Amino acid sequence: MLPSAAVGTLELKSLMESIRHIVRRVNGHYLQASAEKVLFSEKLIKVRCKNTNKEFYVPYDKLVIAVGSTSNTHGVKGLQFSNQLKTAEDAIEIRRKIVHNIEQACLPTTTDEERKKLLSFVVCGAGPTGVEVAAEIFDLLNEDLPRHFPRILRQEISIHIIQSRSHILNTYDKTISE
């Protein structure tokens, strides 16, 4: 649902739930802080509070490590400076940038060349997230926006997906990828 949130077809509040609601149902305990070190022999986690930078220790009987993963740029230089789509904040940032570009493209001071640049979107990687986000941007720019931004012409918009392998969605069944 993040690709939909990135273009605004879905509000973030409809795809997020407060962790406190979930934790309360199981009589759990939530701490918003960063785990920094596991002291296996003492069965303790060293935790740091981001805002205050203060440390404390949390004891455990059983430990589950589930810190997720970071985006992989697959060695493509410069990709780390582009927008990623992994968190709600990323979706907000992409949405903000798309709206900013569209507003800029409509200004009478924007040249044809600048407008083309502002309305050109490139997605690296044709996995499910890349394909979904490209499709969402396409729908937004081709179906929804022309009604509200008549100055923008469809032929000025371009959306590209860059994919290293022979076909898109290559982790899926061939019929889906076709």
Ligand X SMILES: Cc1cc2nc3c(=O)[nH]c(=O)nc-3n(C[C@H](O)[C@H](O)[C@H](O)COP(=O)(O)OP(=O)(O)OC[C@H]3O[C@@H](n4cnc5c(N)ncnc54)[C@H](O)[C@@H]3O)c2cc1C
Where do contacts with ligand X occur on this chain (CB under 6 A)? 2, 34-35, 66-68, 85-86, 129
Select the residue whose beta carbon is closest to ligand X and give its number.
Answer: 68
Question: What CA–CA distance (Å, rounded) separates 141 from 139?
Answer: 6
In the complex, least distance from residue 53 CB atom to ligand X, rounded to whole angstroms: 15
Nearer to ligand X, 118 or 130 (CB): 130
Rounded to 10 degrees, the C-alpha dihedral 29/30/34/35 comes to 30
In the complex, least distance from residue 113 CB atom to ligand X, rounded to whole angstroms: 32
Closest listed residue to residue 126, CA positions, set 80, 68, 178, 70: 178
In the complex, least distance from residue 1 CB atom to ligand X, rounded to whole angstroms: 7
Asked if 101 contacts 107 with a C-beta cutoff of 8 angstroms, the reply is: no
Nearer to ligand X, 85 or 159 (CB): 85
Nearer to ligand X, 71 or 120 (CB): 71
Nearer to ligand X, 85 or 152 (CB): 85
In the complex, least distance from residue 84 CB atom to ligand X, rounded to whole angstroms: 8
In the complex, least distance from residue 31 CB atom to ligand X, rounded to whole angstroms: 9
Question: What CA–CA distance (Å, rounded) separates 132 from 176?
Answer: 13
* 70: DSSP letter: P
**Adjacent-strand bridge partners of 56:** 47
Nearer to ligand X, 31 or 76 (CB): 31
Place of tokens 């992409």: 94
